Structure 1
Amino acid sequence: MAELRDRITTVFQKNVANPLMRLMPFQTLLETTGRKSGEPRRTPLDGSRIGDQFWFVSEFGDKSQYVKNIQANPAVRVRLKGKWHSGTAHLVPDDDPHERLRSLPKFNSFGVRTFGTNLLTIRVDLEG
């Protein structure tokens, strides 16, 4: 059942939600480098900036394409409030993603908790 839910969620995000959200000028975006194509890949998401770090939770963990891209190349960019920031992404499997979600924006956290099946915390260390 979780596998079917994951497939439906992925198809909806890829074909409907993500293309629309990418067009919103102040939507937070994570830009990774495609591990096969070498092309920039932009994923709408939400999280919180704490000092020089940006924290978020992936709903599908290491099954997410952007997580696979991070594993291949951790150099990323994050668009926050319309401005791009370069950084280095780190998977943080020892962090409690449920606890982390309590400190992140409520609307996005609700969606991640509702549809997520393999939660994984990610920290981006932002450059200057």
Structure 2
Amino acid sequence: MRGVFAGFGKSKAFAAVGRALVPADRVLLRISGGRVGVGAAVGLRTLLLTTTGRRSGEPRQVPLLYVERAGGYVVIGSNWGGETHPAWSANLLAHPAATVTRHGRTEEVTGRLLAGDERQEMWDAVAAYWPAYDRYAVRAEHREIRVFLLAPVSR
């Protein structure tokens, strides 16, 4: 099922649908403790990232696709290939301490922006899982999409 959605995921129509589904996904992940989300219905690994708002200081939550690598979770700030970075990525740059909720567990993490070869290696891992990210990079032609490693604090 994920393969079918991976092809559709490259389209601008999917980006519009995806943006519209984010609030529902956030609610589902929140009430299920990260067990059930929109992505799970089609076989996608999704976590709920809680950052601290860089201006408000308030908690902000966003559902994100992820892959496990380097002892943590790699997430991509694609913003569906939009012209600007997503707010959660700016929040994470300002306040790297965050939490991740998945599979009924919440854990503290520290977010680190990746660069150079490490960024490329992690990008390739996530893009192999969700090929639409390569299309998003083309659409976001005037910015380099941010790639983060969310490293658990307890490990």
Q: TM-score range by the shorter chain?
A: 0.7 to 0.9
* Residues 1:69 and 2:88 aligned together: no
Normalising by structure 2, we get a TM-score of 0.62
Higher relative contact order (CA 8 A, sep 6+): 1
Which range moved further: 49-58 or 35-44?
49-58
Corresponding residue of 2:72? 53
Unaligned runs of 5+ in 2: 1-11, 36-45
Over 3 Å counting, the alpha-carbon distance change for 1:119 and 1:95 in structure 2 is farther
* 1:3 equivalent in structure 2: none
Percent sequence identity over matched residues? 24
Check 1:99–1:127 CA distance in 2 against 1; reply closer, same or farther (3 A cut).
closer
TM-score (norm 1): 0.73
Residue type of the alignment partner of 2:131: F
CA distance in 2, matches of 1:49, 1:19: 24
Contact 1:86-1:127 at 8 Å conserved across structures: yes
Aligned pairs, how many? Answer: 120
Is 2:52 the partner of 1:33? yes
Classify the secondary structure of the residue corresponding to 1:35.
coil
Question: C-alpha distance in 1, partners of 2:63/2:90?
Answer: 16
Which of residues 92, 105, 116 is equivalent to 2:114? 92
Report the AA paired with residue 36 of structure 1. R
Q: CA deviation at 1:113?
A: 2.5
Between structure 1 and structure 2, the one with the greater Rg is 2
Which letter maps to 1:124? Answer: L
Quote the residue 1:127 is aligned against: 153
1:123 maps to amino acid: L
Superposed CA RMSD: 3.1
